[in-house]
Amino acid sequence: MFPDLQTVRAVLFDDTAASAAPATGAVALGRLVVDQQRQQVSWAGQALPLTRLERDVLAALASPPLRVWTYQQLYERVWGADYLEDAAAVRSTVKRLRAKLRDANATVAVESARGVGYSLVDANSHGRH
């Protein structure tokens, strides 16, 4: 099912010209564009096949300023519920998201802050540890 009318329009009408430039409200990090309004994520102009949870986690991590998001912050923002000290859902979603970013040969990656949470890094501008 489609979450909103804008998504239906995007599917029905070819609006590739409109998607060439990031829309207002879109977050860009290098060649990564996260457009929450249109519910789309692309790397180097190619759409990434992300689930809603993966897209929402990536949108949170990509939102400025880039920082470490705790498991609790991610869970409450993405799942919209109180965090019950179980990071399994967050970890599982991040694992799938990492695989899809690797498959797209993206230079951005989700980096772990052990015992705390995750951050988004651009390997081209930040050295990987």
- Rounded to a whole number of angstroms, the distance between the first and last alpha carbons of the chain is 40
pLDDT confidence bin for 77, thresholds 50/70/90: very high
Mean pLDDT over the full length of the chain: 83
Separation between Cα atoms, residue 129 and residue 126, nearest integer Å:
9
What was the pLDDT predicted at 85? 86
Which candidate, 49, 94, 86, places its Cα nearest to that of 68? 94
Looking at residue 4, what is its pLDDT?
52
Any idea which residue has 């009408």 for tokens?
A: 13
pTM for the structure as a whole: 0.76
